[in-house]
Amino acid sequence: MQKEDIKKGLLFPENLGSHLSIDETSLSHGELYTIVTNKANKGKKGTLVAILEGTSSEAIIPMLQKLPAKARNKVEEITMDLAGNMNLIASRCFPKATIVIDRFHVQQLAFEALQEIRIKHRWQAIDMENEAINDAKKNNTDYQPELLSNGDTLKQLLARSRYLLYKHEDKWKDNQVTRAQLLFERYPDIKQAYDLSQRLSWIYSKTEDKIFAYGRLAKWHEMVEKAGFKSFNTISKTISNHYQRILNYFDNKSTNASAESFNAKIKAFRANLRGVTDINFFLFRITKLFA
């Protein structure tokens, strides 16, 4: 095989299995590769089904279709993120497989929408502080920021609340409970957005049946609409556009965690090598370990 062919990607039909994951990763300097893995082999030898240059469906589909059609038709399930190109690749190359959108990518959208609201308030607090400092200078007085009961200023409160907003309140430490109470009293919209993000997580963790999940997601859409947050409305529309593939999660509770774990191994391997200077050799090493 020519070096250029290796760089374009490698296929390992013998590693095809019934349950796959598909994802993208960067090997070096932003060069993206599409990776298909077999979940059954748990990141060990035989895991790698394909590693292909690029992420465009036009480039990836013809490559994956070189895998034997009989073997591709035996794939029962394939997990992925919300990327439209991955959905097209999966549906064209593994036509008999059920496509499952990873729950954590959906939840991550809600967490990002929540953080967007927190960050908006933080910038406002910074602007207010700058104005107060300038006013103090004009009046030849010392600026004294407002200190909350836990010792935070408003700016600090908003900065230090970042991580607690990712957690369920049952997992907060005592100082986080206090900080959350102060935050939600000052910014009820952050509390409302926090409740929306936690409600979505609750649907995933506490629902066993696809029909119940459908109903609970419908109620969540209503809550989002009433809240009126633009970012959450965008998430709601995204979920609606991918409803069936999102609901497929509740069949087997399958996630794309194996693909994320495999990507982490590649990144660690890349770090150990202090970067990638020779893509062909790097691909050769990966296939020796995982194919």
- Asked if 23 and 256 touch (Cβ cutoff 8 Å), the reply is yes
- Amino acid of residue 34: T
Which range has the worst mean pLDDT, 39-43, 64-68, 95-99, 269-273?
269-273
pLDDT at 41: 82
pLDDT above 70 as % of the chain: 92
Angle between helices 103-138 and 188-206 (to 10 degrees): 170
pLDDT above 90 as % of the chain: 68
Q: 3.40.50, 3.30.420, 1.10.10, 1.10.287: which CATH number matches 3-102+255-290?
A: 3.30.420
In sequence order, what DSSP letters do the residues of 58-95 get, joined into one string?
A: HHHHHHHTTS-HHHHTT--EEEE-S-HHHHHHHHHH-T
14/168 Cα distance (integer angstroms): 43
Please, what is the end-to-end C-alpha distance for the chain in angstroms?
A: 17
87/108 Cα distance (integer angstroms): 19
Q: Residue 204: which of 147, 152, 144, 250 has the closest Cα?
A: 250
pLDDT at 4: 47
Q: Would you kindly state where each structural domain of the chain is located, as residue ranges?
A: 3-102+255-290, 104-251
Alpha helices in the chain (DSSP H): 3-8, 57-64, 69-72, 84-93, 103-138, 154-160, 174-186, 188-206, 210-227, 230-241, 243-247, 249-252, 257-272, 279-290
235/16 Cα distance (integer angstroms): 33
Dihedral (C-alpha) 120, 121, 127, 133: value to the nearest 10 degrees? -160
Q: Of 66-70, 78-82, 183-187, 251-255, which one has max mean pLDDT?
A: 183-187
Tell me which of 128 and 290 has the higher pLDDT: 128
Q: Is the pLDDT of residue 58 over 80?
A: yes
124/80 Cα distance (integer angstroms): 37
pTM of the model: 0.86
pLDDT band at 29 (very low <50, low <70, confident <90, very high): low
Average pLDDT over residues 115-124: 97
Q: Is the pLDDT of residue 2 over 70?
A: no
- Asked if 43 and 290 touch (Cβ cutoff 8 Å), the reply is yes
Q: Is the pLDDT of residue 121 over 80?
A: yes
Tell me which of 229 and 27 has the higher pLDDT: 229
pLDDT at 1: 41
pLDDT at 282: 74
Tell me which of 174 and 290 has the higher pLDDT: 174
